[in-house]
Structure 1
């Protein structure tokens, strides 16, 4: 099992934020299938104001490179990403061409 935490901002507009959340109430089947077929077992997105935090739990074979390659060949994912871009803005320091930025673990406590 792998766990990843990523961040992204939404455009700071209450109406756009409402629309974005509405789209995520029921994502298209093709998008759900693409997420699950990549090795992601669980995905959650949390919001505070216009900041999003996504948690991904995946199997050990998952990689962002493989997911990116799969997404680039999937017209439904490309259309979804284009639509979502109307609502999203990157956080300063995000690498060119990326949207979500991966967080570094700085503390972990387990029993």
Structure 2
């Protein structure tokens, strides 16, 4: 998608095998209202990866994605708030997460595309 942007964020889960499995199950098929909300505000694709209890989310957005508007509209949507409250049962901030936040942006430190191709 032309002009799309990519975000990479991290979050931890409770270090509990049963809760991690429940979290996985919730994400096999998220609520359709959540899917519609994500797409309505310009999220084109989202993937979540798990290692132990650490999550990494890759999110691709439309070029005009407005994260502040998305956060505001998410807070106004009762179903999104219900989903987020349910997910917080499983989620834990990373040791580097500022107080009151959940998913935090990761710093890109390498890109193969940005490497010099001349030898």
TM-score range, shorter chain: over 0.9
Give the Cα–Cα distance (whole angstroms) in 1 for the partners of residues 87 and 17 of structure 2.
Answer: 15
Question: Partner of 1:84 in structure 2?
Answer: 87
Unaligned runs of 5+ in 1: none
The two structures have a TM-score, normalised by structure 1, of 0.96
The two structures have a TM-score, normalised by structure 2, of 0.90
Unaligned runs of 5+ in 2: 115-119
Question: Partner of 2:12 in structure 1?
Answer: 9
Alignment coverage as a number of residue pairs = 111
In the alignment, structure 1 residue 37 sits paired with structure 2 residue 35: no
In the alignment, structure 1 residue 48 sits paired with structure 2 residue 51: yes
Give the Cα–Cα distance (whole angstroms) in 2 for the partners of residues 92 and 50 of structure 1.
Answer: 13
Question: Partner of 1:59 in structure 2?
Answer: 62
Cα deviation 1:60-109 (Å, max 9, x = unaligned):
11122111011011000000000000000001121222100101111112
The higher radius of gyration belongs to 2
Q: Which runs of 4+ in 1 moved over 3 A?
A: none
Give the Cα–Cα distance (whole angstroms) in 1 for the partners of residues 56 and 79 of structure 2.
Answer: 23
Give the Cα–Cα distance (whole angstroms) in 1 for the partners of residues 90 and 35 of structure 2.
Answer: 19
In the alignment, structure 1 residue 25 sits paired with structure 2 residue 21: no
Aligned-CA RMSD value: 1.1
